[in-house]
Chain A
Amino acid sequence: DSGVTQTPKHLITATGQRVTLRCSPRSGDLSVYWYQQSLDQGLQFLIQYYNGEERAKGNILERFSAQQFPDLHSELNLSSLELGDSALYFCASSVAQAPGSYEQYFGPGTRLTVT
């Protein structure tokens, strides 16, 4: 158990809908990262937050957005869902941000299925 929690574990929804994925980082970790794992694209970095502020953006679509709240939990919002958004979404956390070889600890993921 990495100490990172994600809810829900599974989510099934229809095209065009909007969903929210939730992540709670390890106690003491200030950075939260979101990743998408799909058969087509592999593992892709989406976005990073550090202590409530956006720090880095990866291959995140405009239909997707995220935020980190004062208690450091984070939410990833996916809207106007398409079949291709079906994937495993991981949240990871680390104690700090670059520089430094801080480990990123991954949560168990949320499996999103868009039908």
Chain B
Amino acid sequence: AQTVTQSQPEMSVQEAETVTLSCTYDTSESDYYLFWYKQPPSRQMILVIRQEAYKQQNATENRFSVNFQKAAKSFSLKISDSQLGDAAMYFCAYRSGGGADGLTFGKGTHLIIQP
């Protein structure tokens, strides 16, 4: 079974600074997808960014980018120019490329933005 580990229960960053959230995963599969979801206080789950394992290029979405290290099974999220609205729980998630389609989530990192 796949596992996803987020080793930082909580992170704090000053507004406008850059922060990196860590995620590692364990799998024996070669075809899979990785995601970062944001859960603000409203509890809504919002997709931030996704990465296909077969793509070497790191995904980028505006101020959000990932550092995908397939050999190390590492998938970190970098948030640039942090904004107050970025304050939320961030979950790293894994999905198999075929067969079972459910997401496996890490335990989350609570991101605090200091004004």
Contact = CB atoms under 8 A, between A and B. Distances in A.
B64 to A, nearest CB: 15
B98 A109 contact: no
Interface residues of A, number: 29
B99 A56 contact: yes
A45 to B, nearest CB: 3
Nearest to B55: A101
B62 interface: no
A79 B31 CA distance: 36
A45 B108 CA distance: 15
Interface string B52-66: 100000000000000
A23 B33 CA distance: 25
A42 interface: yes
Main secondary structure of the interface of B (DSSP, over half): loop
A14 interface: no
Interface in A4-49: 31, 33, 35, 42-48
Contact of A33 (B33, B43, B96, B102): B102
Given A56-B100, A98-B98, A99-B97, A42 B44 contact: no
Nearest to A43: B105
